[in-house]
Amino acid sequence: MGIKVDNVSFTYAKNTPFQKQALKNIELEIQNGELWLFIGHTGSGKSTLINTFNGLIFPEEGDIYIDDVSIKDKKKDIREIRKKIGIIFQYPETQFFLPTVNEEFEYAPKNFNVEYNLEKTKEYMDILSLPHNYLERSPFNLSGGEMRKVAIISVLSYDPDFIIFDEPTVGLDYKTRKSVFKMVKELKNRGKTLILATHWINEFVELKPKVLMLKGGDIAFKGEFDDFISLNIEELENAGIILDKKLELYRKALLKNEIDLANKIASI
């Protein structure tokens, strides 16, 4: 069970002068409870792939299976699939439309016929350092970072099994970014299946995520974090990855096959 991407291809504006193939024969299996990082230069196809997972984009070739159910299966209600998948889009705060934060949180559970759990919502607010009295505030009068936190909780509020963050930290300051990473770690501990399209991999070293790297719609790398980080440094830079000091040391230890040292560095 999980997400299976079976030989998926997709082309935008097909048969027009603007035709652009964004995905080429992608094969991927994500097991329940795993954390995956989707890496790749801007325009490599990460968002397109993510949007196929809940049927926002329909693969012209191949298929996507969510817990063994094909998104092309006309006998299945696509809402049942969407209920399992929570996608936090880039700049999600543009999607607010209700007068209070609490109503934003209640909206998706109502829509999916799932019970809204205020206590769990408050736990999420604590993890993201969002004061509880924000529940009564207007989502439109918050700072950019606070809006992002509200947008994240709005998706978590219907308790999806698969949670996908598309560039979750774009435009956020250091402290807010840290709290988003704390949330990702907490969700991982709670057994959720997580996918993050991100250039920011430094925070995840100790979680040993799996990595998919796309390049021009093709798979350039698929596998374990340690194998990814051991790639040629130019390849990492071409994918937009910048290593911080800790990850540089980790990489050096791995390349020297000093696994114990690498693990110690990862746990700092």
Ligand X SMILES: Nc1ncnc2c1ncn2[C@@H]1O[C@H](COP(=O)(O)OP(=O)(O)OP(=O)(O)O)[C@@H](O)[C@H]1O
CA dihedral 204, 207, 210, 212 (to 10 degrees): -10
Closest to ligand X by CB, 44 vs 121, is 44
H or E element that contains 155: helix 144-156
3-state secondary structure of 220: strand
Closest to ligand X by CB, 31 vs 90, is 90
Shortest distance, position 8 Cβ to ligand X, whole Å: 12
Shortest distance, position 38 Cβ to ligand X, whole Å: 8
H or E element that contains 174: helix 174-189
Give a three-class secondary structure readout of 99-148: CCHHHHHHHHHHHCCCCCCHHHHHHHHHHCCCCHHHHHCCHHHCCHHHHH
Closest to ligand X by CB, 24 vs 122, is 24
Please state whether 129 falls in left (phi above 0), alpha (psi between -120 and 50) or beta.
left
Shortest distance, position 182 Cβ to ligand X, whole Å: 23
3-state secondary structure of 21: strand
Shortest distance, position 135 Cβ to ligand X, whole Å: 31
Closest to ligand X by CB, 196 vs 253, is 196
Q: Tokens 């709670």 label which residue?
A: 190
Shortest distance, position 13 Cβ to ligand X, whole Å: 5
Binding residues vs ligand X (CB under 6 A): 12-13, 20, 22, 40, 42-48
Closest to ligand X by CB, 28 vs 262, is 28
> Structure tokens of 209?
């995520």
